Structure 1
């Protein structure tokens, strides 16, 4: 290279740096302008002109997503922000494709998102919007895939411009005040929808009838599959008669309620709201926490006039009053709700799980599914004793298991709670998990993912270190938006790549769990509500193995590394890898996986020569 060429090259580099600095400076100014336009913007302490927002793909400012030094997303969730969203400011960020302001206090007119036609995702769930969404609000937004408007107070009709979007995939409109008919959508890519708890009426469009009834519940005037059959219009005289009967019935119910309230349990007997889940805590911080007490935070009361529903007649019955009076301590707060240890008597100790994110499930659907779960009986499943259903309160009651969860024993801080798991114990645990999972497949054949949320914190260990699966069979009764964000099945390769789970999804979860047990490594997204779960799991898997397994990747705390058992350890590790096959077609089904696990022994035969299970070369998960 000549001196002239070198100077020319340097000149171009300097020009590029100058342009880059100008772009970053411009975007910084735009974000600072937006910060000043919202209420409580001063909470965004990292947004300051002393640094640039993006450094390549790495953000320097909180809540910013970066791609090649450009701002591709804003994710400010639960920050206490309010006021209006000024789209005239945000249109100065041309690379913006994702906006999320969930769980804040924004209000006012619906933002003019159509000014940014490249947007792919809009998340506004849990704000204070209360006006109509203009009919043309989404005109021209042909790239929009995800729209989350739930838990606001939007009024009026569902905007017609939504129906014309060709790539729309997620549409969450529940818990608002939308009215009128559900329009017909042109997109055949809709995979997640929720219209529950609005004021919608009329027939559900044919293309949407494939979704569960829970996604349309709370709209008394909606009809057609999957809801009740549509009937002819009722004469006005009949309506008047029905109204009279309803008024009389309401008067009777009100009187009964006042009597129960006067003579029923006092407010001090109500359950207390537990401490909130802290993202980023270690498993021992937020799983199986003991001896914390319930605190004195105010809470919604459980109506003791309702009864617990028991699954079997051969157990000692108790009622809600007994539960409310029992001494209780919080065991932990997970993604579905909180768990309490309740001592009814010195001998009778139970666990009460208080579930949230199930409010779109009707009473009939919930009861029917719970009865199916209550019939399950297997030594590797935590049996359910009873359940309780109210619109805003759902409880599961099960026997208390004394020895904590697998997650605590693998990853908890060293204490008298945690015991190191040797190889025979880990093999016993894996076999118990596999047997329990196979029983779920056999007894719940209609469920695509009979467990759906298999991870180490959902495997309890009794004093003999037998595996007991918990939190199984919840997919059909869980709010679909919540299930997609937090349940392990929805972090599988098939869901990340194709937006679906399959009969082999639980096998993938089993494989991840086997690798966690054998390596002692912690797959972070099993415990955190991470949008990038597939990347985290891919990193976890790649850290376990690149090509062929060796004893170097096994958990050193497991002990017992010698020629008598090393081959069997690696055989089980290989089984885990085969269960984690990203290609669903090549992945083992549950029976094959369980059969292979059952063949693993504590020690090699003398003629084994440490032979390893045959498997395919390791491939990383494909990223979206």
Structure 2
């Protein structure tokens, strides 16, 4: 009887726990699938937070939307076996299982119709390319690299019309790729496989490294197919010239030459007669005479050119112009930009920590290309003699109180280091010359992405890219605002030409912190972004004014229209419509035809209206006439991220992370445009 009572007491004590576990399984439809995966694959119990007494949405690596698993990121956890139980998570948008020890064929993924990012790299998967992948029509990123997958890459992968990333390197894939046609592809790699045949024109723009270590793959950017010769050590390949065609289109690969076609076998009677009559010796003498004649002509032409250019050079040296550079090629207009006054100290380059050093003379000798003119001066791309590329801004129309004031402010700006901020590498100060040296951003600026080459043949800036650029720029500005408590730093010159893109497509903010040196002339520019309280003098620009300017930038992203007044840094060209954006958008909203106000290039994308309206509401709150009613930039960042419920911060692993992106980046909740 005592034992019965004891058992009953235990049952009563454990009843709430059993009820809680049951309620969790009942309330979250994904509970059983997640637990089945843990039981089968987590032999080392790395997922210790996955237990029966907790809500699955609080487990490690699990993110939920409306109580359904939308994001599962389990990387480097020594997981084994198959992930077949996870295929029941039909609301999954991101699945990243890279750097584990999962093996066997990749299971059927056709149930994961919401999947947008799939990362399975660095595992031990085998078998063919997963046949179910082409049915995932929402997929944007696919990474199956560093596995043991084999067979051909099927032409059905072309159904993934939204695919931006396709990484299949370091597998055992064979056959051809000539039928691959993915127009939106931005990150592609099939190196380290056994692929054969020509590279299609649609993929020829990717670097050589994307196709390396495929011995019989040919065509741009690899050597031409007509130069590829098959391995003579293999049977039936003697003298064979590769004319490889992709097995995807059913053509044959290598055609062996017929032995009868070898030129050394044939010796005509005409050749024998020529040798008998001595005409062979005459043809050799004729060839020698032609070669000698060509050499003499070449020497004569070279001599004349040498005399001509040497004479011009001597004249320039005599006139004292030998040290000058062509106007279109120089960054600084003279090798010594300082007046030769007694006691005047020559300026020097001041570098910040961790930056490779060079001298002013290196900039003078650099091959330079003007990038544009802005409110604070002219920017150049400079290629130094060692191949290093930097961006140099030659400050003009600025008012500096003194050298010490300038140096102190540069020291603050030089410490700004953030993935969404262009780093200041060095500066140069002298009375008549002031230079700022930044890291070079190779992918241009937001202005040209939005407004450049409008018309037929233009590649539109898609909605996902716009949203990610907006989030990245907001992060960069928020970092600038919070970097220093005293003095508070504001950007002071936010506009689309000052939002650059780095080599992986992340937005990087530039031209920050210079408004305190702005002259009245510079203050009159970029009024389309200027807050009402700062429109008369940009030197009074505040962080609230930055928020206003960023709001105008968001309206520019949404409408495709240019603000009312822009400077001459290339802006204005390509703008079909130039308006007072905040006032125009307010009138559109009042008339309740909001949808007609969005950029026509965004109409082709489906299911993004809610997101666009969400970003429009953020922009309107930023452009409030009252500074006190504008949100802080840190709050703006959170609001943009909440549009999709993800972190838009740039990845340090380039394309090898869940939130990665290339020349554009895609979040786990990328807008569907099928």
Larger Rg: 2
> Normalized against structure 2, the TM-score is what?
0.43
Structure number with higher relative contact order (C-alpha < 8 Å, ≥ 6 residues apart): 2
> Normalized against structure 1, the TM-score is what?
0.45
